Every structure is written in C-alpha cells, then in structure tokens.
A and B are shown apart, each in its own frame.
Chain A
Amino acid sequence: MNGLSVRLSAALAAVLLFLGGCALIQPPAADDGRATLVRDGEALVWQDEYRFVPPPRPWQLIDLDEDDYSVGYMMLCDEGYPCQSTLAYAEEPFGYSLDFETRQEEFFRRFLWASRVNFAEPKLQPTEVFGKEGLIAVTEGIEPVLGHKVHAKVVFARRGERVVAFYFTQWRAADADYDLRDEQDFDRFVESFEFLRPSFFEQL
C-alpha cells in the first residue's frame, strides 16, 4: 500500500492520533458562561460544580475562552499603567505532574508565557486546602522590555487525584508599589471555594 499504514498492537485498546497545526476558527460558544453562574445567597454556583463567594466590587467576572481558566475575576485601577489584579480558579493549571513540587516548576514555565515574564524562584509553603495537602507558591515576574512587573501567588490543591490551582496576579509598573490588599480578596475566594460533586475525572 502506498502511504502510511497504521499497525496497532493487539495489546492496545486504541490509538489516539492528533494532527497538529493551526486551530480552526471556532464559532463562539452559545452561552457566555454567565448563564451557568447561579446565585446562592452570598455565594455563586458555577455549573453545579463549584460554590464560592465572589470577590466584592470592583472585581469583575471575566469570560476567558481558555481551557486553563474555569472562573476568573479582574480588577483595574488607575495608578499608572499597568495597574490590574486578577484572581482565578483553574481546573487544568499549566503543567502535567500530579506531584505539587514538580507541577509548580512546570506551571511557571508556561504561566504568563505570552507576557514574556521572567519569574524569580518561587517561595514555596506547604498548606492544606479542602482538608488535603496543598502548596502555595509566591513569586515575582519581571517583564524587562516594557518595564512591568507582576506579583503572583498560586495555591495548588487536589481535586481527586488531579492537581487544580487558584492564582492571583497583580501587575504594576516596575517603579510602582504593589497593593496587596487585593490578595486578601483572593485568600477569601480560595477559603470559600467548595466542590459540589466529584469531577469528571473522578467519575471516569
């Protein structure tokens, strides 16, 4: 036969082949994500999957069409440029490993990659999230060309066997001071977060 023949080992159930290249332009999703957010007292329930207390205004919900974000908020300020904070829960944070220490290394290799940020070695602190082991990583990234900096705090946690993450970033000009009061909103967001049912992966 001309061309390529695919021979499968009898031991395998399946071969998954993906042809890489450019993504096709995807049609916009039918809903904007907000339809899946339901208010439950002071909390919000997202897709019957998570329940959390949203950060107060002026934090704004952001719709991000990226797999790395499940739910995120941002806050702009006008003390120079850039002046912005974000907080998010990521069901599929960057990286692959199920081990937290390895995962945080993989995570920071890709996190804010498009922003060309050079991260300092993160300060790591073991913690407990959802009654299980967790890891907090705090670091600063420098964007040397534009003269921007970003403070980042990432909380790695476990959902079933997989690693999930919460992260907070605050962007400032290199010569400006951070205002880490916003980080307290992030901490409250993490503390309020709860899973309402086993994840897709736990049910596989």
Chain B
Amino acid sequence: MQALTNRSKAVDRKPMTIWDKMYIPAIAKGMGVTLTHFFKKKATIKYPEEKRPFSPVFRGLHILNRDEEGRERCTACGLCAVACPAEAITMEAAERQPGEEHLYREEKYAAKYEINMLRCIFCGLCEEACPKDAIYLSETFAPANFARQTFIYGKNDLLIPDPKTEPELYQKAVGERGRKA
C-alpha cells in the first residue's frame, strides 16, 4: 500500500531482548527526556499581567460604530438582524429630528438596538451584512455575569465611545481590527 505521508514507520514486532525486558535503560531514557523539559522554555502566559495577542480573525464582543465626527452610523436597516443565524439582534428604528444631525449620520437611526449575548454565536455575519460599517466585532471577550437579563446588550453597552469627546477610549475600543478598516 502506498503511504500517504512520508512519516509512516513500519511497526517493530521483534520480541524483546533481555536488555529491553529489564526496562531500566528505557526508564533512564524516559527520565532523561523529562529532565530536559525541566530546563525548557515555559509555554505559560501569566494571564492577568500578560495577555496573548488575538489572531487577526478573532471575533469578540460587538461594537456599534460611529463615524469620524462621532455620529452613529447605524440606520436601522435591519440587515444584520436578517443575517443573524441565531436571531440575536433586534432593533427599533426612529426618524432623525431636525437638530439631531450631529448625533446620527442618516435620516433614520436605531432608537433601540439589542443583541442577546446568550444567543449570539459570534459568527460575524452581522458585520458582513452591514452596508454602513456600523457594526463590527471587537477584540473584547464577552464578560461573565450573574443574571440572564444582563446579557441582553442595549445601545449603551454596544456604542463605541465618541472619538471627539473620548478619543482614548475610542482608540481602545476600535482596537487593531477597526483601525485597519
């Protein structure tokens, strides 16, 4: 039979010699192996102090984005909710009133925008569906909590900090992924 990889080895079926049956040499060899590991570099990352960098495709908590002037991008078109396979997203649309132009980018905006984090599977389809770059998945973990109700994230949980009034928090929330986009 042709081997699929070049790693295959024929199994050694020779009966054990007396030397093998003593096991002591094999044990000594094994002990040598474990001892070399004693001095090897440790793979541990000391978590709270040291954080492991996320992979570029990591999908964490959602963020509702703003544009450069701090206006909400979301127009409550509902494409994200349609795209969501877990049906985690719900929203209510409202019309922008005169004098609110500095708050919302388009004439329509999401008065209520909720993601049920208990249902969300972090697939990222909402991000792909959004025509306005309004929702994207950041690099933050979903935090633990005690009450189920707290896992329904409203707009105040999701909205990114205003880049004009809170530039530092905004940069932190945008993270590496958002900066590229």
The yes or no verdict on A and B being binding partners is: no
Contact residues of B with A, CB < 8 Å?
none
Contact residues of A with B, CB < 8 Å?
none
